[in-house]
Structure 1
Amino acid sequence: MPPRQFDGSLVRAVRRRRDMHQKELGELVGVSGATVARWESGKDFPKGEKLPAIATALDKPLDELFPHEGPPDLQLLRCDAGLSVAEAAEIIGASRVPVGNAESGRRRLNPSYVQPLAAAYGVTEEELLAAQDRSFGVRAVSPGDEHGTVPRTIGEKINFLLQYGSTGSTGEKTLSDAEIAQLVNQHAPGAAVTAEGIAELREGTATAASDEVRAGLAHAFQVPPWLFGDDAELSPMIQEFLEAVRFIGSIHQRQILGLAARGSEILSLRTMADINRLVGELRHKLSEVRDKE
């Protein structure tokens, strides 16, 4: 799940409308005015647990000022409660390790930790356990919940890549069923699939495909061949790859404006800083283009 979006220019605009100085905002959230200045300029981003305090100080709803997509995982629950990992660990009387392991999907919480953490996060035990599942890459499937579903079948993976990922060697934004079939057949020996066959896979009326078709689909979408492997199990590597595809696609669609620092096994703090810098540069360039239009 993508983290909460942080747009420093929006924070600056809201702060100024409230006739509030950077130093004043900093005092309210426990940082210096210089730190606020770095947030607003895009040179740095606040830790996730700081976002509720910022929203409160600016008298704005958290979801409005710092939106996010999909249901929360453990990290988001903790951050939305305004707690650091150390503070959450203190609540359960343990080191940071159990909290960090659960949030990064390495080891689940001891059952005795569930109730106190749920109370501290302001959620039910069921909600906390569901968030833990999401931290481990387990996503509940519900009607219409496209963002919460991990694609497993060939058709789901095709639809996922059409929405978020590489569009193949044609360079077009969206591939038609006929174009996908053509790319598959260029890679496969002979006519391995038709446009109607691709449509049936995407619609779910067909689920089986030959190894040649699977390899051809990987070629068409320029992804590793193992992505179109066994549908039954999704290895951590595949899940991380799909999350990365979704994240990069969200940047291209301008759904991600910046990351509040949360850290994960997939994105290190250094990687997030690099991504934030890149997103900031892209936003600046887009603004220059719009100004010239």
Structure 2
Amino acid sequence: MPARRFDAERVLLTRRTAGRKQSDVAVGVGVSPARVSAWETGRSVPDPEKLPRLAEILGHHVDELFPREGPPDLADLRVDAGYSQADTKKLTKTKSAGPVAAAENGQRRLAEEYHVPLAEAYGVSVEALLRAQERSFGIDVPEPGMTEAPQAAGDGLPETLAEKITYLLVQMPAPLSDAEVAALGNSRTGVEVLSEDLVRDLRSGVVASTSDEVLRALAEALDTTPLIWSADADVQRIIAETMLLRGQVAALAARGGGQQGLSAELLQFILREVDKARADVQGGGPTAGS
């Protein structure tokens, strides 16, 4: 089950941007204000079936605020429709949630009589329900028309500030508005240097350059290093190669790791090599030709 990505800081900023109180969100989702506070501070995360309603209250589609990588399985369809597993016995008109639980766990496929009521309750076609069921059994069934995402060019990063900002926004796991970029950058640096208008002007190229303080806040908001704004060709080459490597590692994890991701041994190797490279740079590094 490819779980949805929950970002506590983004939920907090989104709620504030929407002008909603924690108590408003709590009433809409059906929990206590203390529970909403726990979500926003990262002390806990919502049950998966609460995410669609939470996104709706905050004025976003669930796929935008809480993105998921990969097509859904049966459990994903259920939680996206706002149902707990226990709720499904009402949908199948059985004494327990056993039929749905068994299918979600890849143990026994749904009886045909359950196809239509579950598809209607989940808001999908029977065909989509059956594709999701196959994924619950470990069979990779693509959605119709699904193609692989285009890979980033390996010959370097975009050159202008506007192009780099746009490039980084495309790489983000969830879309960010100009206002959200500004709020994130200010929050993470603790300095109010970004505004929605400034981010928009920088992204669109109306403003072609800015202060180091603004660039630092932008880098924080976009989960990158301030070095990405450098005009040095060697720095840009290293950053581009690092981003390409990150994409390759992510693809490797998605292909072979399943729920477990990269093995501990492979992850340890990657981290060790990164630490060695960092030590080389900080210590002057091996000289060319040595």
TM-score (norm 1): 0.51
Q: Specify the alignment match of 1:187 in structure 2.
A: none
Cα root mean square deviation, aligned: 2.7
Distance in 1 of aligned mates of 2:146 and 2:51:
31
1:143–1:75 CA distance, 2 compared to 1 (3 A): closer
Question: Aligned pair 1:164/2:179, yes or no?
Answer: no
Structure 2 residue aligned with 1:79: 79
Query: Residue deviations 1:74-122, cap 9 Å, x none?
Result: 1111111111112222111121111111111121111111110001011
Q: Is 1:243 equivalent to 2:243 in the alignment?
A: no
Say whether 1:89 aligns with 2:70.
Answer: no
Q: CA 1:14/1:104 → structure 2, altered by over 3 Å: closer, same or farther?
A: same
1:85 and 1:123 map into 2 onto residues whose CA distance is 17
1:52 and 1:163 map into 2 onto residues whose CA distance is 27
Superposed CA deviations along residues 223-249 of structure 1, whole A, max 9, x for unmatched, are: xxxxxxxxxxxxxxxx9x730343789
The yes-or-no answer on 1:6 pairing with 2:6 is yes
C-alpha change, 1:246 and 1:102, in structure 2 (3 Å) is same
Asked if 2 retains the 8 angstrom alpha-carbon contact of 1:164 and 1:245, the reply is: no
Find out whether 1:134 has 2:170 as its counterpart.
no
d(CA) in 1 for partners of 2:48 and 2:146? 30
Q: Which residue of 1 aligns with 2:126?
A: 125
Q: Is the alpha carbon distance of 1:113 and 1:132 closer, same or farther for their aligned partners in structure 2, counting shifts above 3 Å?
A: same
Letter in 2 for 1:135: S
Q: Hey, what's the Cα distance between the residues in 2 that align with 1:126 and 1:20? A: 39
Aligned to 2:49: 49
Aligned in 2, Cα 1:10/1:2: closer, same or farther, shift over 3 Å? same
Q: How far apart are 1:161 and its partner, in Å?
A: 7.2
Do the aligned partners of 2:29 and 2:53 also contact (CA within 8 Å) in 1?
A: yes
Write the distance in 1 (CA, Å) between the matches of 2:148 and 2:18: 37
Deviations 1:185-227 (A, max 9, x none): xxxxxxxxxxxxxxxxxxxxxxxxxxxxxxxxxxxxxxxxxxx
Number of the residue aligned with 2:225: none
* AA matched with 1:73: D
Q: Which residue of 1 aligns with 2:229?
A: none
Q: Distance in 1 between matches of 2:248 and 2:91?
A: 39
- 1:56-205 aligned at under 5 Å gives the runs 56-94=56-94, 95-140=96-141, 144-145=147-148, 163-165=251-253
Q: Which residue of 2 aligns with 1:15?
A: 15
Q: Contact 2:257–2:263 (CA<8 Å) still a contact in 1?
A: no
Aligned residue for 1:246, secondary structure, equals coil
Distance 2:115 2:130 in 1: 8
Contact 1:15–1:58 (8 Å) recurs in 2: yes
Q: 1:145: how far off?
A: 3.9
Structure 2 CA distance for aligned equivalents of residues 244 and 62 of structure 1: 22
- 2:18, 2:59 within 8 Å by CA — same for their partners in 1? no
TM-score scaled by length of structure 2: 0.52
Letter in 1 for 2:56: T
- Kindly indicate whether the alpha-carbon contact (under 8 Å) linking 1:2 and 1:247 is maintained by their aligned counterparts in 2: no
Aligned mates of 1:110, 1:136 — CA distance in 2: 15
Which letter does structure 2 place at the counterpart of 1:43?
A: R
- How many percent of aligned residue pairs carry the same amino acid? 42
Measured after TM superposition, the shift of residue 40 of structure 1 is 1.0
Deviation at 1:64? 0.6
Q: Which runs of 5+ in 2 are unaligned?
A: 150-246, 268-290
Distance 1:248 1:6, change over 3 A: farther
Instruction: Name the CA shift for 1:90/1:143 in 2 (closer, same or farther; >3 Å).
Output: closer
- Partners of 1:162 and 1:18 lie apart in 2 by 33
Structure 1 CA distance for aligned equivalents of residues 80 and 263 of structure 2: 24
